[in-house]
């Protein structure tokens, strides 16, 4: 379990002991308000979001890599087999006489 889960569980048990109708979702809200009591952990960075790429940056790099892969494969502008398939998909084609 993470430190956050342990903290919320502790808050829940405190609340549930005093009020049997106390719910876990209320414990989450109360734990969020009492974050400062949780203390800091010595394992790893506290701000994981700063180490991750933002969604925008990730999508940008993915698009770039996809473009280069598409060019290598031929992509949308490359030769396709659709010309060969057109005759087969629609049944027999009538030839002009």
Alpha helices in 1-97 (DSSP H): 3-18, 24-33, 35-38, 48-51, 55-73, 82-89
26 CB contacts (<8 Å, ≥6 apart)? 15
Q: For residue 31, give both structure tokens.
A: 């734990």
Task: Work out the pLDDT band at 42, boundaries 50, 70, 90.
Answer: very low
Pair of tokens at residue 55: 């969604």
Task: Convert the pLDDT of each residue in 43-78 to its tens digit.
Answer: 444 555 555 667 777 777 777 676 666 555 555 555
Rounded to two decimals, the pTM is 0.40
- Least Cα distance to 3 among 48, 60, 54 occurs for 48
């Amino acid at each position: 379990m993470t430190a956050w889960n342990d903290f919320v569980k502790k808050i829940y048990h405190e609340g549930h002991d005093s009020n049997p109708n106390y719910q876990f979702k209320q414990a989450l809200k109360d734990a969020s308000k009492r974050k400062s009591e949780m203390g800091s952990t010595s394992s790893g960075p506290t701000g994981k979001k700063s180490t991750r790429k933002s969604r925008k940056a990730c999508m940008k790099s993915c698009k770039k890599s996809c473009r280069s892969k598409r060019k290598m494969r031929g992509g949308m502008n490359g030769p396709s087999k659709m010309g060969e398939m057109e005759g087969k998909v629609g049944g027999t084609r009538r030839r002009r006489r």
